[in-house]
Amino acid sequence: MSIKEIIDLFGKEKISEWVLEMPKFYISPSSFFKKLFGKNDDEKLSISIFYILITIGLTYIFSNDTFKNVTKVIILEVSILVITLLILNTSSYLVSKIFNYRVKTLNIFLFLLITKLFTLPLQITFIYLFEKTEMYELLFIHNTILSLLIFFLFVYSPKFFYPNLKQIITAVVINLLLYNLFIISISILKFDKYQYQFENPIFSDKIFNEFDEKLAPLDSLTLDIPKTKYLIILRNEPTIVYSFSNDSLSSIFSNAVSEHRKSIMYETRLIEKLAKHKDIRKNLRFKRNKMLCDTLVAYLKTMENDFRNPVDTSYTYIVDKITLTTENNRYAGEIKQLTINPKLNTTYISYLKNKNDYYNSVTISNYPTYIVQLMLFPALKLIQ
């Protein structure tokens, strides 16, 4: 539908009035909805259609995503709208049984529709800017908007529908109770968003999702790493043992078998995963993850080289050693602590610093969601 067709459908005067009313939603939502609820049903329907057309049009025009993904966002938002309508309408019905005062379902629908329409462009804008700049400060703003929206819908909204404080408080309590029951129901049904590809692009952190999907298999190799290296000589047969704990030279002998088995398993996993993900960088979209990938792969390749050539003379020397003897004080062998490639320490620290900085950014960006977590405290407790 063209702009001319929209103007012909609704009329210039009405469109001018509705457009001028839009800023009032952000400045004074109470007066905005009071005026809206006072209109007749036909005009309410016209206003709804107008705002829907404008929002969908702007979403398709300014979104950098594919037509398919934008359509997916709109469909998911409609689904969320229907669920929220069911919760608030059920709440209104229960409140009416207590106070004999019923809110019109149309008014609830209009409130939800316009609130979603007027906040959707903000969410899309900040998630778009976040993905372009990879600045988690923008995701923080996006999450703030989203959390305040949920608070607005379930806690603040009764102020627009009910005339006295008792009704408002009762409605808030019932809203939160129903919201918690819905979340518990979803958890009981064990809904798998991955199985059904249920993921709303404007709710997700695509940078972290990419890390979790593509870098996590290699990152798992840094959770428990070899810390020391020993050369154990028994019956003139040398064996290299990597220890994953800070064992002393005197105690490593008793743990040598288990540590050796562990180091062999680690080496096998490392070589297999590096081979499997050799082209991983080409498949990464975001700069943050590419930087993490570079430092992570540098560490793992250095570790791989150390496994393949554990006594590289360019950096290997003896840190300490003990001589093993029999009960008759005869020579039985030696245990020598060797240096690990010094590049391992620098590359590991570099990766760990980048990863910790990244995780801190992710954590801070999620602070606003504590508002929602507080609202869902009973459900989260039961799910846990």
The domain boundary, picked from 152, 175, 204, lies at: 204
Within a domain: 36:
yes
Look at residue 374 and tell me if it is in a domain: no
Are 121 and 55 within 8 A, CB to CB? yes
The Cα–Cα gap between 145 and 63 comes to 18
Give the residue carrying structure tokens 């005009």: 43
- Domain boundary pick from 178, 204, 230: 204
Q: Can you give the pLDDT at residue 150?
A: 92
SS3 call for 238: strand
Which of 78, 97, 12, 100 is CA-nearest to residue 50?
A: 12
Give the amino acid at 345.
Answer: N
> Are 193 and 47 within one domain?
yes
Q: Is residue 245 in a domain?
A: yes
Q: Are residues 143 and 252 in the same domain?
A: no
In which domain, by residue range, is 68 found? 3-204
Whether 23 and 157 map to the same domain: the answer is yes
Statement to judge: residues 248 and 159 lie in one domain: no
Amino acid identity at 351: Y
Per-residue pLDDT, 312: 80
Domain boundary among the residues 156, 174, 204 is at: 204
Name the residue among 55, 49, 53 with its Cα closest to residue 124.
55
Same domain, 192 and 244: no
Q: Are residues 15 and 82 both part of a single domain?
A: yes
Q: How many angstroms separate the CA atoms of 161 and 107, rounded?
A: 8
Give which of 141, 121, 139, 119 is closest to 130, Cα–Cα.
Answer: 139
Please report whether residue 378 resides in a domain: no
Does residue 375 form part of some domain? no
248 and 174, same structural domain? no
For residues 99 and 118, give the distance between their C-alpha atoms in angstroms, rounded to a whole number: 32
153 in the same domain as 49 = yes
The residues near 332 (Cβ < 8 Å, ≥ 6 apart) are 234, 324, 325, 326
pLDDT at residue 202 in the model: 59
**Whether residue 126 sits in one domain with residue 30:** yes
Domain-embedded: residue 306 = yes
pLDDT confidence of residue 200 = 54
> Do 200 and 79 sit in the same domain of this protein?
yes
Residues 35 and 84 in one domain: yes
Residues 301 and 227 reside in one and the same domain: yes
- For residue 384, being part of any structural domain is answered with no
The total number of structural domains in the chain stands at 2
Q: Give the pLDDT of residue 197.
A: 44
Would 94 be classed as within a structural domain? yes
Q: What is the pLDDT along the chain (384 residues), one digit of tens a residue?
A: 555 665 656 677 888 888 888 889 889 998 888 888 888 888 888 888 888 887 777 666 656 666 666 677 777 888 888 999 999 999 999 999 999 888 999 999 999 989 988 888 888 888 888 989 999 999 999 999 999 999 999 999 999 999 999 999 999 999 999 999 998 888 777 655 444 444 555 567 889 999 999 999 999 999 888 888 888 888 778 888 888 877 677 677 777 788 888 888 999 999 999 999 989 999 999 999 999 999 999 999 999 988 888 888 778 888 888 888 887 888 888 888 888 888 888 999 999 999 999 999 999 999 999 988 888 888 877 776
pLDDT tens-digit profile of 211-265? Answer: 999 999 999 999 888 888 888 888 778 888 888 877 677 677 777 788 888 888 9
pLDDT given at position 108: 93
User: Which residue from 267, 230, 265 is spatially nearest to 245, judged by alpha carbons?
Assistant: 230
* Mean residue pLDDT across the chain: 85
